[in-house]
């Protein structure tokens, strides 16, 4: 039920850095990291039903088995069909497909895209059209889909809405695009890095707020700009103080705050219940609420049709040999996304 995939390109994302730095308590080492890739199927197992050699695919860290209780509920994209083994760095049969000499190497997020070749279960591969450039659409394997999907699916942005996006990395900039596609009238980008302003505006932001230039009075500022709060707030920093501010910026009665950022180890969010009792909604989003196998082909079409932008999010491209430079650029805040090519 697995396919051998030749990875042609992969993005470098924070979750890889978190793992690399040993901050993930569940981590199994040694492992092949990487989860934002795209490639071509080179071989298939006997039980593979819907994929063929030569198919172009995006590996999914969130599988779509279509049979587990979550999948059949029709209410979530969180498939737990192979979750247990995936979290242990194993294939569904409990085995591993990487080795160095006699030593077996663990998988990471079920995808392990920092490798020329990887093995992925069929239920965790989205087949995509063959004319899409893999060195661009690889970013649909994580950050871009997460941001766009969160705005459209989880935020439910509607035409005319006012939206605030906190944190303008690849995820937040994509959330801006999602809000724009959904027809938002006002999109406020918030980032402590002024250099994000230009690209945010290119992708659809109508306003930009830098908290460091207003003594951190972000909430007051956004309430002033919006006659009482935004319809939808999209949080893409992983900072728990920003998460709370995002909720506070939501309009009483209906404002919805969607959390996408991943908090630091053991961090907790605290808030006075009145913030939600007065009708605000606080929710989270995983992979933009998108079911990978069913949903990603549409995102690829959107890219090919020019409806969404990916190229502008790729600040650096380098070969796998320089991948540590990609991590350095990410930590320094210099890169939006680095794409590694093989
Ligand atoms: N207020 C506003 N913006 C902030 C703040 C803050 N207090 N702290 C950081 N930022 C900005 C950074 O300047 C940066 O532009 O948030 C942005 C985060 O972007 P990236 O680090 O590139 O992260 P990204 O890949 O977009 O992921 C965002 O989602 O997947 C998770 O773990 C990931 O938590 C991270 C989040
Ligand atoms: Zn499932």
CA of 6 to the centre of ligand 1 (A): 30
Q: Is the CB of 170 under 6 A from ligand 1?
A: yes
Q: Identify whether residues 52 and 132 lie together within a single domain.
A: yes
The model's pTM is: 0.97
Cβ atoms within 10 Å of 318's Cβ, excluding its own:
15
Q: Identify whether residues 204 and 265 lie together within a single domain.
A: yes
3-state secondary structure of 315: strand
- Write b or e for each residue in 179-188: b if 16 or more Cβ atoms lie within 10 A of its Cβ, otherwise e: bbbbebebbb
Per-residue pLDDT, 24: 79
| CA separation for the pair 37, 60 (Å, rounded) | 9
Last residue of a domain, one of 284, 305, 325: 284
- The closest ligand to the CA of 167 turns out to be 1
Q: How many domains does the chain have?
A: 2
Last residue of a domain, one of 266, 284, 302: 284
Share the mean pLDDT of the chain.
Answer: 97
Q: Identify whether residues 174 and 80 lie together within a single domain.
A: no
Q: Identify whether residues 166 and 130 lie together within a single domain.
A: no
Q: Identify whether residues 258 and 335 lie together within a single domain.
A: no
Q: Tens digit of pLDDT for each residue in 199-245?
A: 999 999 999 999 999 999 999 999 999 989 999 999 999 999 999 99
Q: Tens digit of pLDDT for each residue in 80-101?
A: 999 999 999 999 999 999 999 9
Last residue of a domain, one of 240, 258, 284: 284
Q: What is the mean pLDDT of residues 8-32?
A: 91
Q: Identify whether residues 38 and 103 lie together within a single domain.
A: yes
Is position 45 within any domain? Answer: yes
Q: Tens digit of pLDDT for each residue in 143-182?
A: 999 999 999 999 999 999 999 999 999 999 999 999 999 9
Q: Identify whether residues 328 and 249 lie together within a single domain.
A: no
Is position 149 within any domain? Answer: no
Q: Output the domain CATH number for residue 65.
A: 3.90.180.10
Is position 150 within any domain? Answer: no
Nearest CA to ligand 1 atom 2: 191
Task: Answer yes or no: is pLDDT of 25 > 80.
Answer: no
Is position 151 within any domain? Answer: no
Q: Is the CB of 144 under 6 A from ligand 1?
A: no
For residue 41, give Cα distances in angstroms to 35, 58, 160, 262.
16, 10, 43, 31
Which mutation among 17, 61, 62, 169 tests ligand 1's pocket best, with the greatest number of atoms within 8 A of CB?
169
Range of the domain at 264: 156-284
- The closest ligand to the CA of 86 turns out to be 2
**Spatial CB neighbours of 91, under 8 Å, sequence gap ≥ 6:** 2, 85, 97, 107, 119, 121
Q: Identify whether residues 178 and 117 lie together within a single domain.
A: no
| CA separation for the pair 213, 38 (Å, rounded) | 40
CA of 217 to the centre of ligand 2 (A): 43
Q: Identify whether residues 209 and 298 lie together within a single domain.
A: no
């Amino acid at each position: 039920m697995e396919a051998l995939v030749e990875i042609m390109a992969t993005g470098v994302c924070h979750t890889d850095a978190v793992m690399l730095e040993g901050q993930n308590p569940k981590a199994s080492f040694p492992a092949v990291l990487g989860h934002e890739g795209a490639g071509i199927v080179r071989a298939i197992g006997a039980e593979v039903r819907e994929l063929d050699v030569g198919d172009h695919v995006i590996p999914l860290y969130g599988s779509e088995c279509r049979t587990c209780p979550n999948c059949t509920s029709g209410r979530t994209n969180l498939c737990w069909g192979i979750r247990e083994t995936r979290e242990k760095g194993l294939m569904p049969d409990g085995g591993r497909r990487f080795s160095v000499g006699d030593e077996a190497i663990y998988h990471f997020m079920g995808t392990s895209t920092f490798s020329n070749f990887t093995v992925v279960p069929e239920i965790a591969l989205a087949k995509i059209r063959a004319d899409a450039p893999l060195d661009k659409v690889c970013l649909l394997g994580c950050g871009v889909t997460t941001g766009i999907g969160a705005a459209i699916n989880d935020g439910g942005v509607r035409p005319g809405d006012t939206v605030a996006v906190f944190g303008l990395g690849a995820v937040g900039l994509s959330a801006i695009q999602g809000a724009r596609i959904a027809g938002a009238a006002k999109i406020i980008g918030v980032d402590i890095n002024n250099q994000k302003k230009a690209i945010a505006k290119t992708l659809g932001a109508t306003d930009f707020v830098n908290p460091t230039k207003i003594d951190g009075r972000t909430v007051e500022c956004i309430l002033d700009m919006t006659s009482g709060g935004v319809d939808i707030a999209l949080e893409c920093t992983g900072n728990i103080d920003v998460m709370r501010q995002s909720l506070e910026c939501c309009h009483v009665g209906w404002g919805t705050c969607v959390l996408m950022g991943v908090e630091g180890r053991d961090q907790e969010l605290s808030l006075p219940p009145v913030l939600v009792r007065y009708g605000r909604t606080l929710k989270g989003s995983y992979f933009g609420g998108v079911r990978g196998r069913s949903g990603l082909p549409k995102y690829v079409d959107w890219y090919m049709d020019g409806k969404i932008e990916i190229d502008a999010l790729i600040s650096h491209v380098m070969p796998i040999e320089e991948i540590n430079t990609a991590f350095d650029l990410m930590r320094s805040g210099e890169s939006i996304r680095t794409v590694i090519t093989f």
